Amino acid sequence: MAKLSQEDLLKAVEEMSVLQLSEFVKTLEEKFGVSAQAMVAQAPAAQAPAEAGEAVEEQTVFNVVIASGGANKIAVIKAVRELVPTLGLADAKALVDSAPKEVMTAVNKKTAEEAKAKLTEAGATVELK
């Protein structure tokens, strides 16, 4: 098999439909055991444990994770699509079926709490990390 140059590969990707590209990304993730999600910078570890009386910083960035889709998966899928409008129906269903899975990454506390409430109301078990 002839090797493809980066330009040839980019040209092939440009010609793909969104659905084909989504399936291609999933295939790459499965084959190489990687994720196409954006990297989130981790806060550096504290130098020393917090002493009594010292203020502990409150977490400001959260990841919303569906731990379980629950019994009413259709409602959970609808809630996921409302929260992440870029996901299609098949992608939202796959996300809920493959729980535990991150729905939202690096969001503020208010957004994370609202997402957790919406998903919990739909019947999902949700964690904030």
Topology of domain 60-128, CATH:
Ribosomal Protein L30; Chain: A, (3.30.1390)
Predicted TM-score (pTM) of the model is 0.53
Check whether the bond before 49 is cis (ω within 30° of 0): no
pLDDT single digits (tens) 63-122? 888 888 888 888 888 888 888 888 888 888 888 888 788 888 888 888 888 888 888 888
Query: CA–CA separation, 110 vs 94, rounded Å?
Result: 26
pLDDT single digits (tens) 22-72? 888 888 878 877 776 655 555 555 555 555 555 567 777 888 888 888 888
Strands 101-108 and 61-68, by their bridges, are antiparallel
What is the residue-averaged pLDDT of the chain?
Answer: 79
Candidates 89, 102, 98; CA nearest to 19 is 89
Task: Write down the domain spans for the chain.
Answer: 60-128
Backbone torsions φ then ψ of 91, nearest 5 degrees: -65, -40
Residue 37: what pLDDT? 62
Q: Is residue 92 within 8 Å of 119, Cβ to Cβ?
A: no
